[in-house]
Amino acid sequence: MGCRNSRGLTLRQARFVREYLVDGNGAQAAIRAGYGPRAAKEAAYKLVTTVHVKAEIERLARQEAGESGVSRSTILSELMNAFDLAKAKSNPSLMIAAMGEMAKILGYYPPRGAKARKPPKRGNAAFAFAFDALSDVELIALASGRAMSSW
């Protein structure tokens, strides 16, 4: 079965966790941790869905965030500043880029590999759908605070 550390991880799993935190690329982290290149994607999927590995990734990510002083709210605040600057310079593409990044952080985009949900027909769940379902015109209208008649 192999030696396990105090968190219940094998040495190779622990190395995968450290490598995964470098760039978030599971397949490359698996290769760097000693898994074979041909099976790296499958190994990465199995690893990030393993309870102990997933918990350790989350724990170390929180620890790194705390040490660096970067928080979710700090990132959102800076992205909002970037959005405001792009708006002041009348640059819609940068405004959309900033909104897209904020949407990712806020969870409006589905995780990679997940199927996007259909927008709700009516009700309070209007913002539950993914921003990527919106056209550029709709995103610009949303960013500028104008309501779309089709909403």
On the CB side of 100, CA atoms within 13 Å amount to 13
Cβ atoms of 20 and 26 within 8 Å: the answer is yes
Return the pLDDT at 3.
Answer: 75
Q: Encode pLDDT of 43-89 as tens digits.
A: 999 998 988 899 998 888 888 877 777 777 888 888 899 999 999 99
Q: For residues 27 and 36, what is the distance between their CA atoms, to the nearest angstrom? A: 10
Mean pLDDT of 92-118: 75
The answer to whether the predicted template modeling score (pTM) of the entire model surpasses 0.75 is no
Return the pLDDT at 128.
Answer: 45
- Label residue 41 by pLDDT band (50, 70, 90): very high
Return the pLDDT at 124.
Answer: 46
User: Residue 4's beta-bridge partner residues?
Assistant: 10
Mean pLDDT of 106-126: 58
Number of helices followed by number of strands (H, E) in the chain: 7, 0
| Closest by Cα among 34, 28, 41, 37 to 13 | 34
Mean pLDDT of 15-28: 89
Burial 17-38 (b: 16+ CB within 10 A, else e): bebbeeeeebbbbbbbbebeee
Structure tokens at 145: 């605070």
Indicate the range of 8-12, 99-103, 106-110, 143-147 predicted with least confidence.
143-147
Return the pLDDT at 131.
Answer: 58
Cβ atoms of 125 and 144 within 8 Å: the answer is no
